[in-house]
Amino acid sequence: MDHKRLTNSIDGAWEEITERLIAYVRIPNKSPLFDPDWERNGYMEQAVDLMADWCRAQPLPGAVVEVRRLAGRTPLLLVDIPGELPGCVLLYGHLDKQPEFTGWLEGLGPWEPVVRDGKLYGRGAADDGYAVFSSLTAIAALKAQQVRLPRCLVLIEACEESGSVDLPAHLEALGATLGEPSLVVCLDAECGNYEQVWCTTSLRGNLVGTLRVRVLTEGVHSGMATGIAPTPFRILAQLLARLENPVTGDLLLDELQVPLPADRRAQAVAAARVLGDEVAARLPWAMGVNALSNDPTELIINNTWRATLAVTGAEGLPPLQSAGNVLLPEVACKLSLRLPPTCDPARAAQAVCEVLERDPPYGAQVSFSAGSGAATGGWNAPTFAPWLEEAITQASRAVFGREAVNIGCGGTIPFMGMLGERFPKTQFFITGVLGPHANAHGPNEFLHLDYARRLTACVSLVLAEHARTLTR
């Protein structure tokens, strides 16, 4: 294979991909969780069409591009590219988006694509719109050089940001069509910097629920009621302290702890050596604020192998301007827990619910409800096969001139757990473009175009090496 020709064809393809991604950013196809009316609004349809049309125009002889539909569920885009070798590779991404969020800088916005300093700003290009373009381009670049490949199946779901709740039904409907992939490529993960390949070796799970505390049937003048009735806010704080140490942020339940495997600790140490202070510095700190620890290894382990709690929303607290001197009758908050990779999500959900609801202070009405699909398991990758480890190392050296790094991911990709369960012998190459300041889910999300282009070349090289293992 001619390396120069490979990068040339990928670079050429990315000019058109950038145009397509610009159009894609304009579509507000929020995940169903954030747009319950998604079906009527039709944005998801626009996004799927945009991608499917592009896929059909790619130089991939024999490829079948299909938009699969199930009643009431988000569509699934599937591109089936026949191969010359036995076996198959599954490449995964998603096309649904996170909601807008606030805090976009002047001139930027979630649905307003802007290319600035080599970065495409706007919602959903990096998380995870680029995946389908990158995957097909990586394959087409190899086909252009007559590299023999196994069948490649590119699967793009539209429900990832809602916990992939529609995916099991699609997988069931697909049945044996999926084959038994010997390699899964996932382009929905993080990178520690834009200078080398980053491989995700574990993912955390996620548990979301609403904690509600009610003490009165209506609000009462605080001068009349405080000192007599407890405030629901104080009870809420007390309940949260059962779950996490309010000083350190450590989660207190045994059901939320797992042992850290020795190889993952060693990887965290190695990644911390590469990243150093950047582990913390990549966050948009307010002036004077410190990280939870000065030790980057500790921060990586915290972020990837420990449970954490974030309060992500509230109800019952009036906005400041209309907040009078009232003892509030009820407050509720949304809790978002990240679970360690090997933590049992159902057991964790049960334990969290029990600790929050038992013996409510002052007999207050307390409930914790985790909606359906609210607990998603994490995942710990099988150990790399020697060929894959070598292929990723060589790809990173060839494209970036630097070593690849393995690291856990603090986020959740439900499909990896599903696949891991179904295909325990499958190898996983999980990587992505969500690097420093790319800020998926928050304001000012961007896709680092040069990094995405180079990562596409790395995917090509890993696919080529995988194909070589099939001919040995």
Binding site for Zn ion (CB under 5 A): 127-128, 188
Residue 330 CA neighbour count, 13 Å, CB half: 12
Q: Which is nearer to Zn ion, 158 or 272 (CB)?
A: 158
Q: Which is nearer to Zn ion, 128 or 244 (CB)?
A: 128
In contact, 181 and 153? CB cutoff 8 Å: yes
| Burial class, 429, CB count within 10 angstroms (exposed 0-12 / middle 13-18 / buried 19+) | buried
In contact, 224 and 465? CB cutoff 8 Å: no
* Cα end-to-end span (Å), the chain: 17
Q: What is the DSSP letter of 433?
A: S
Q: Which is nearer to Zn ion, 80 or 96 (CB)?
A: 96
Least distance to Zn ion, CB of residue 425, Å: 26
Least distance to Zn ion, CB of residue 145, Å: 31
Q: Which is nearer to Zn ion, 188 or 445 (CB)?
A: 188
Least distance to Zn ion, CB of residue 9, Å: 27
What SS3 state is found at 119? strand
Rounded to the nearest 5 percent, the helix, strand and coil shares of the chain are: 40, 25, 35
Least distance to Zn ion, CB of residue 182, Å: 24
Strand partners, 226: 229
Q: Which is nearer to Zn ion, 127 or 244 (CB)?
A: 127
Q: Which is nearer to Zn ion, 127 or 166 (CB)?
A: 127
In contact, 130 and 21? CB cutoff 8 Å: yes
Q: Which residue has the tokens 């069509």?
A: 177
Q: At 394, phi and psi to the nearest 5? A: -65, -40
* Cβ neighbours of 291 (radius 10 Å): 16
Least distance to Zn ion, CB of residue 96, Å: 9
Least distance to Zn ion, CB of residue 43, Å: 17
Angle at alpha carbon of residue 389, lines to 142 and 424, rounded to 5°: 95
Q: Which is nearer to Zn ion, 51 or 63 (CB)?
A: 51
Least distance to Zn ion, CB of residue 160, Å: 5
Record the tokens describing residue 29, joined without a space.
């196809």
Instruction: In whole angstroms, give the CA distance from residue 139 to residue 149.
Output: 9
Q: Which is nearer to Zn ion, 159 or 235 (CB)?
A: 159
- Measuring CA to CA, how many Å separate 199 from each of 2, 192, 203, 284, 415? 25, 10, 11, 24, 17
Q: Which is nearer to Zn ion, 127 or 157 (CB)?
A: 127
Q: Helices H, strands E: what count in the chain?
A: 14, 19
Q: Which is nearer to Zn ion, 440 or 461 (CB)?
A: 440
Least distance to Zn ion, CB of residue 144, Å: 29
Record the tokens describing residue 28, joined without a space.
């507000």
Least distance to Zn ion, CB of residue 127, Å: 4
Q: Which is nearer to Zn ion, 157 or 188 (CB)?
A: 188
Q: Which long-range contacts (CB under 8 A, 24 or more apart) does 384-389 make?
A: 384/427, 385/427, 387/465, 387/466, 387/469, 388/183, 388/427, 388/429, 388/462, 388/465, 388/466
In contact, 276 and 240? CB cutoff 8 Å: no
Q: Which residue has the tokens 């196809």?
A: 29
